[in-house]
Structure 1
Amino acid sequence: MVLKIFALFLLIFVQTSFGKYEQYQGYTVYGVVIRNQDDINFIQRLQSELDLDIWRAGMPGARHADIMVGPKQREMFVKHLHAQGMEYYIREGNVASKIKNFDEDLIKWTKSRQNVEVYNKYARVAEIDAYMERLAREYPNIAKVVTAGLSFEGRPVKYLKISTTNFEDPSKPIYFMDATMHAREWVTTPVALYTMHRLVESLRDEDRDLRDNVDWIILPVYNPDGYEYSHTDERMWRASRSFNPEIHEECRGVDLNRNFDIFFMEINASSNPCSSLYAGPYPFSEIENRHARDILHSHLDRIQIYLNIHSYGSYILYGFDNATLPANVAQIHTVGAAMGAHIDGSKLPNMYDYLIGNSRFVLYPASGTSQDYAQDIGVPFSFTLELPDMNEYGFLVPPQYIPQINSETWAGIAESARLASIFYRARR
């Protein structure tokens, strides 16, 4: 019976996963050599003009850009690069095949293992919620599950609160992190779940201060509708799944990291509802962002760090995207640099070192981001963490790398929490 059930599961998985890659037939990922800031600006203009999908923005003299181009845009894209005198190469010639191979390898990996911890695999929303409920049930004096509300499609948006004092001690700073704002960035969710694991059910003596002296809010699946859709229908789906036929009869979703009420629609965002950078009809049009906003404001007097976890690139970024800097930028950079150094100390030797700095200049400018919003309303340390750049894997990180990414990122998270706590107590 067990074998029959597993065979049925595999059949369903194969049938649904086919839809995840068939729409990428003819798509190519180009590597583009970035020489200077003008090249970055040029790529951003092309992104809007040709509706390109930038996987990695690149950095002058350090990292090439990765850009996915559809068959209808390929000729014009290459023509523009030639006109600009930019060097390029094919990084992945068949995106559909790459996704298909990823799915097949994931099936084999899953079949060959039993009882893999939820934080060491690509779990679905139901299993993730069940894990948080179990932690709250088994550790009621430490952990509590909260439902922020429902997603657009009616899924509960749940997060875990971790505290030894029931969130009632004002002398303790709060660390608020979220993951999977962009649906296709699967590898971000295990990091959030592993943080729960280390703080609740596997606390080590050297980390006891992180639970005793800090309260935690961890939202592991920010965008549950998009996340589920990327599992069942379209692997590279990025946005939410909201739908308003009065705006467009077919196109769905909003880029949740362009929808916050800060510099809305000023740069690197789109008013086209079919664009992957669509910012929405107005700030906070997306229910998922309103949930995050409400969490921030409910604890604004104590939230010391907000960490918005993305993939990929090996970056730790801070505001602002309008080319200004927060008043405490020296402290922000200190905490960010310490986080990056601790991750680098544990990373695989062939991976990039983390780059730390203002998001506009280290990565690219963007308007309406959660990072800038949290900083603007008064969170002292607001960061975007881009998890490791795994070279040829892009967003399709094999699950066998998850434990490594979890452990190295935890080292950085732990250090950032300690430093932020020092600054919190110093200003009280």
Structure 2
Amino acid sequence: MLAKAHGKISTVHGVVLRNLDDIKLIRELESDLDLDIWRAGLPGVKDAYIMVRPQFKEKFLERLDEAGIQHYVHNKDVVRALDDFEARFNQWKLRRNNDAIYNTYPRYGEIEAYLDRLGREYPNIVTVVNAGNSYEGRPMKYVKISTTNFEDSTKPIYFMDAAMHSREWVTPPVALYTIHRLVEDLRAEDRDLLENIDWVIMPVFNPDGWEFSHVENRMWRRSRSFNASISPICYGADLNRNFDIFFGTFSVSSNPCSDIYPGPFAFSEVESRNVRDMLYLHLDRIQIYMNMHSYGNFILYGFDNNTLPHNVAQLHYVAAAMGAHIDARKMADAPYYAVGNSNYVLYGASGTSQDYAQAIGVPFAITLELPEFDGYNFLVPPEYIEQINTETYAGIAETARLSYLFYRDRL
């Protein structure tokens, strides 16, 4: 069951954010009360959605009341919501039997098989690579897409990954759809994306967590490493707190059971080490690093410590162009994307892959938070996947074209 391992009923509360002080309080309570922040919110624009475990509910609401922060029940029974999602997804799979892999939520073995098939059928442009094995021994596969076998130094590299947080099921379909459009369904208007740019796309950053979220706990976020000397009962670390930049300094918890536990030290997790090595392997040509998450309609860039990259004007330009191209194709009732520095627009987090990539020399390191629909939060019905894929691909294509222009100007 997808809802397995949740135990007692947890609730999700909407929190009406007024200012940065409210955000600061939420971040403090996140660690103190082991909160699970589903949506960080934006003061005056978006409420925060926060899952609270039963044993902390009274204290959480008390602290909000003391601060004069309005709140309400967004989801009174998370387990029921998970069960409903599972039933709906299973019915949808029966109706859409043999649907394209990028229009559903595939298991990791299916993703591996798809990448391997493309490597066999399109050997002139697709190379399948194993970045290294995950903690549980799964190959972390990605594709290199290139018309010149990655040997043309005049071409920038676009590096994309997804499912760093395993419960964010809607992110791998976007990566898979991007691969499909570049390889199997290359259209005349997109030929420049293949001829001018080389691509590195990893559909699942966290394969162990991805599988665990499918068979045990739909809301699992972290990796699946285990160290009994740290905790005899808790597994994994937040891979987006595990990179060696501002490590362990803010928006983290020392509790190894917390979803924002950064690990015992920077790069303690093999998955983050493998992606780090991928970045260094191609660092001289990577122009964009796109780290995909869900959800909230955000396009973010560094740094998370109240500083800005030296090229922030160009970085904001690229991010805003992405948002504009996605918004032009969004559903009528969907929110518009918010664009800006992650610390100011969303919240600061130490040890992120975005900040690390930016710091080591990637010109445009971006975190993309895919859209939310109708209060479904992480449980996006599969009926929305095609919409998310097509609108997001338009933004990806635009950032790729801009990356080419900026890269050529550097040569």
Shift in Å, 1:275 = 1.2
Return the match for 2:14 from 31, 35, 44: 31
Structure 1 match to 2:297: 314
Residue 389 of structure 1 pairs with residue 368 of structure 2: no
Shift in Å, 1:271 = 2.0
Q: For 1:68, give the aligned amino acid.
A: M
Structure 1 match to 2:252: 269
Q: Is the 8 A contact 1:311 1:387 kept in 2?
A: yes
Q: Is the 8 A contact 2:164 2:240 kept in 1?
A: yes
Deviations 1:202-230 (A, max 9, x none): 00000000000000000001000001000
Residue 415 of structure 1 pairs with residue 398 of structure 2: yes
Structure 1 match to 2:72: 89
Return the match for 2:153 from 159, 163, 170: 170
Q: C-alpha separation between the residues in 2 aligned to 1:108 and 1:86?
A: 40
Return the match for 1:131 from 103, 114, 126: 114
Return the match for 2:35 from 49, 52, 55: 52
TM-score, length basis structure 2:
0.99
Deviations 1:13-37 (A, max 9, x none): xxx43xx246154211100100000
Q: C-alpha separation between the residues in 1 aligned to 2:9 and 2:216?
A: 18
Q: For 1:303, give the aligned amino acid.
A: I
Residue 206 of structure 1 pairs with residue 189 of structure 2: yes
Q: C-alpha separation between the residues in 1 aligned to 2:349 and 2:407?
A: 28
Distance 1:270 1:56, change over 3 A: same
- Structure 1 unmatched ranges of 5 or more: 1-15
Query: SS at the partner of 1:35?
Result: coil
Q: Is the 8 A contact 2:321 2:395 kept in 1?
A: yes
After superposition, where does 1:343-354 map in structure 2 within 5 Å? 343-354=326-337
Residue 281 of structure 1 pairs with residue 264 of structure 2: yes
Structure 2 match to 1:292: 275
- Misfit runs of 4+, over 6 Å: none
Q: Is the 8 A contact 1:21 1:100 kept in 2?
A: no
Q: For 1:390, give the aligned amino acid.
A: F
Q: C-alpha separation between the residues in 2 aligned to 1:34 and 1:192?
A: 32
Structure 2 match to 1:70: 53
Residue 188 of structure 1 pairs with residue 174 of structure 2: no
Q: C-alpha separation between the residues in 2 aligned to 1:365 and 1:391?
A: 26
Q: C-alpha separation between the residues in 1 aligned to 2:244 and 2:398?
A: 30
Q: Percent identity?
A: 61
Structure 2 match to 1:260: 243
Q: Is the 8 A contact 2:5 2:216 kept in 1?
A: no
Structure 2 match to 1:10: none
Residue 108 of structure 1 pairs with residue 91 of structure 2: yes
Query: SS at the partner of 2:291?
Result: strand
Q: For 1:404, give the aligned amino acid.
A: Q
Query: SS at the partner of 1:72?
Result: helix
Q: Is the 8 A contact 1:21 1:99 kept in 2?
A: no
Shift in Å, 1:115 = 1.4
Q: Is the 8 A contact 1:179 1:310 kept in 2?
A: yes
Q: For 1:62, give the aligned amino acid.
A: V
Shift in Å, 1:307 = 0.2
Q: For 2:156, give the aligned amino acid.
A: P
Residue 226 of structure 1 pairs with residue 213 of structure 2: no
After superposition, where does 1:323-334 map in structure 2 within 5 Å? 323-334=306-317
Query: SS at the partner of 1:392?
Result: coil
Q: For 1:90, give the aligned amino acid.
A: V
RMSD, aligned α-carbons: 0.8
Query: SS at the partner of 2:55?
Result: coil
Q: Is the 8 A contact 1:270 1:278 kept in 2?
A: yes
Deviations 1:263-286 (A, max 9, x none): 001110122211111111110000
Structure 1 range deviating more: 161-170 or 24-33: 24-33
Q: C-alpha separation between the residues in 1 aligned to 2:378 and 2:387?
A: 16
Q: Is the 8 A contact 1:21 1:97 kept in 2?
A: no
Q: C-alpha separation between the residues in 2 aligned to 1:249 and 1:339?
A: 44
Q: For 1:207, give the aligned amino acid.
A: D
Q: For 1:233, give the aligned amino acid.
A: E
Structure 2 match to 1:4: none
Matched length: 411
Q: C-alpha separation between the residues in 1 aligned to 2:277 and 2:209?
A: 21
Deviations 1:155-192 (A, max 9, x none): 11100100000000000000000000001000000000
